Structure 1
Amino acid sequence: MEPDWQDRAFHHHIATLIDALDGPDFWTRATRVIERFVAFDNWVALVFVRDRAPLVCAESPMPDGTVDLLFRAYLEGMYQLDPFYINACERPRAGLITLAEVAPDNFRMTDYYQRYFKSNIIGDEVQFNVPLDARRTLIFSLGAKHHYTERDVAQFAMFAPWVIALMRQRLAYEPGVAADEAAGAPQSDAVAERAAAEVLELDYARRFEAVTQQSGRTPLTAREVEVVRQSLSGFSTRAIAERLEISFETVRAHKKHIYAKLGVSSQSELFALFYEPNGREGG
């Protein structure tokens, strides 16, 4: 329906949402208000953390009441390839974030997109982001089987101020999400971004080291780990070269060495090795 700021029902819903701030159904009520104006198919409230798996605040239930196995796989490791997660770690900011803003140039060609995003979210996604400290961002994600129109995105942007304000207020009632005292004093943007990149690389390095040790493969160097991370996330060879400030040919050489060390011959095999349990067997 078209928004009508004289619509008493809308104001009633906002009032009940405010009343629900300290209750278990806050996130569900928030989705009910928004879906009056924009259609979406799934939602989740998470806290992105740079050096560990996201914390789940609430998620949309499966239609048949079963466990969402794809979402479990996401929490077990594939979140590392999520463009929203990567963006929140590298450049945290409050506001509405769209997939078009954060997706790498080759995102739709990745195994992450084909095996998780396309199957679980299907078409499009937006997130409302609230950075909590130097390491964590509270996010409220709305996914759709269709692509959001310009009108849809404009509607989300119109709602962003009150959605984000309520998300900030909700923090006091989310177990385990209170301000992290270990986060330390505020950092400059440059220092914070550098620290974020270092922690994100360490997160990948730990995972890749564990997998290579388990499978008996040759360990990767820190630079090779970073090339794998960006490649699996959807950055093209040229984009990786620009991001790492190295030449196109150097990136290609790194990829050749990576494939030889790990005994793989394709991007899909590389993805399977690090993100699918069966892919680690055999080598």
Structure 2
Amino acid sequence: MTQPLATDSLTPSLTAAVDALHGSGFPAALVRLIQQQVAFDCALLLGVGQRPVYLYDNLHHQRALLFDRYLTRHFSQDPFMQALKDGLPAGVWTLAQVSKGRLDPEYRHHFYQATGWQEEVGLILPVRDGLTLMLFLGRLDKRSTLGQDELARLEALFPLVHSLCRQHWREETPRLAQSPARPGGNDLRVEVEQAIASLGSESLTRRERQVAGLLLQGLDTEAIAQTLGIGAGTVKNHRKHLYGKLHLRSRAELFHLFLNHLITAPTPGPP
């Protein structure tokens, strides 16, 4: 039997999630809504396509591993990602269900042992053609394992969560969400903007940094040329020069470099 939702405690967080729809604070409000029913230490939200697209996290423990390892290398070993590729349908799934007791030893070492996650649940959330969300909910080693009643509450809450996600991402392109306050008082969006502006600051010209920033945002040569008011050939020259100065061969390597720069760049304090 499906565990009934605690509607009295759900109402304030549900109201907050509905109010946050179509705003950058929605993912955080959605996670708080879920945490009203079942407690988790960590949450990570990704858009899933050819490779995962980061949308939101509330990680405070070993957060650098998310960018340094998972999003750049180890996501393909993730049993949830493998199961989704094999046709895992929408719903609430435990790690035991998707791994079937056979977890890649390298992935266990590089993710679970490194981060301390001892319990993991994944919510598979198809929101429209070409976009499926995966919301990971994790517990660290000091918390007890997930009980059947907690899993039942998540399953009862899933249709509501799914509906809210379909509403929020119905038409817009996935984008970075508002994240919890950072140690220096900045949120993730501010840090991303600062990291783009400072990438290669010691070796790139101002125009090369502009081109690098637009490449990181996914713009192609023609779009960059139009944005900067320069010719497509000039854009290609700037790209060739910045790749050479940063010892890169592709946009993927530029993205990898940027993620590491984002994590390691000093965070300025509040003004």
TM-score (norm 1): 0.54
Percentage of matched positions with identical amino acids: 24
Task: Specify whether residues 132 and 28 from structure 1 end up closer, same or farther in structure 2 by C-alpha distance, changes over 3 A only.
Answer: closer
Q: What is the RMSD of the two structures over their aligned residues, measured on CA atoms?
A: 2.4
CA-CA distance at 1:10 after TM superposition: 2.2
Q: Is the 8 A contact 2:128 2:170 kept in 1?
A: no
| Structure 1 residues 90 and 136: CA distance shift in structure 2, 3 A | farther
Q: Please give the secondary structure, in 1, of the residue aligned with 2:23.
A: coil
Q: Which of 69, 76, 79 lines up with 2:75 in the alignment?
A: 79
- 1:182-207 deviation digits (Å, cap 9, x = unpaired): xxxxxxxxxxxxxxxxxxxxxxxxxx
Tell me the residue number matched to 1:111: 106
Q: Extract unaligned runs of 5+ from structure 1.
A: 178-283
Q: Quick check: 1:154 aligned with 2:149?
A: no
Alpha-carbon distance change, 17 to 134 in structure 1, aligned in 2, over 3 angstroms: closer
Point out the more displaced range, 123-132 or 21-30: 123-132
- 1:172-183 alignment runs, 5 A limit: 172=170, 174-176=172-174
Q: 1:99 offset after TM fit, Å?
A: 1.1
Equivalent AA in structure 1 for residue 38 of structure 2 = V
Aligned amino acid, residue 116 of structure 1:
F
Letter matched to residue 126 of structure 2: P
DSSP 3-state at the match of 1:76: coil
Distance 1:38 1:75, change over 3 A: same
> What pairs up with 1:19-38 in 2 under 5 angstroms?
19-38=19-38
Letter paired with 2:112? F
How many Å separate the matches in 2 of 1:105 and 1:176? 33
Deviations 1:55-104, CA, capped at 9 Å, x for gaps: 011111426xxx82211110002000000001111114111122121014
Report the counterpart of residue 235 of structure 2 in structure 1.
Answer: none
Whether 1:59 and 2:57 are equivalent positions in the alignment is: yes
Distance, in Å, in 2 between the alignment partners of 1:93 and 1:131 is 9
Structure 2: distance between partners of 1:102 and 1:120: 19
How far apart, CA to CA, are the structure 1 residues paired with 2:5 and 2:127? 31
Matched letter for residue 86 of structure 1: Q
Q: Which amino acid aligns with 1:152?
A: E
1:166 aligns with 2:161: no
Amino acid paired to 1:156: L
Q: Matches of 2:5 and 2:98 in 1, distance apart?
A: 28
State the secondary structure of the residue aligned to 1:13: helix
| Counterpart residue number, 2:95 | 99
Matching residue's letter, 1:16:
A
Aligned to 1:4: 6
**CA drift at 1:160:** 0.6
Deviation at 1:143, TM superposition (A): 0.8
CA, structure 1 residues 54+169, in 2 after alignment: closer, same or farther (shift >3 Å)? same
Secondary structure in 1 matching 2:43? strand
Tell me the matched-pair count: 168
What does the per-residue CA deviation read over 1:137-171, in whole Å, with 9 as the maximum and x for residues that have no partner? Answer: 21111111242111211111111110111111121
| Alpha-carbon contact 1:43-1:140 (below 8 Å) kept | yes
- Tell me if structure 1 keeps the 8 A contact 2:127–2:170: no
The amino acid across from 1:138 in the alignment is L
Distance 2:101 2:122 in 1: 19
Change in Cα spacing, 1:4 to 1:102, as seen in structure 2 (3 Å) is closer
Q: Which runs of 4+ in 1 moved over 6 A?
A: none
Q: Higher helix share goes to which structure?
A: 1
Q: For residues 3 and 18 of structure 1, do their structure 2 counterparts lie closer, same or farther at Cα, with a shift above 3 Å needed?
A: same
Q: What TM-score comes out, normalization by structure 2 length?
A: 0.56
Structure 2 vs 1, CA of residues 119 and 150 (structure 1 numbering), >3 Å: closer, same or farther?
farther
Partner of 1:143: 138
Q: Which residue identity is paired with 1:167?
A: C
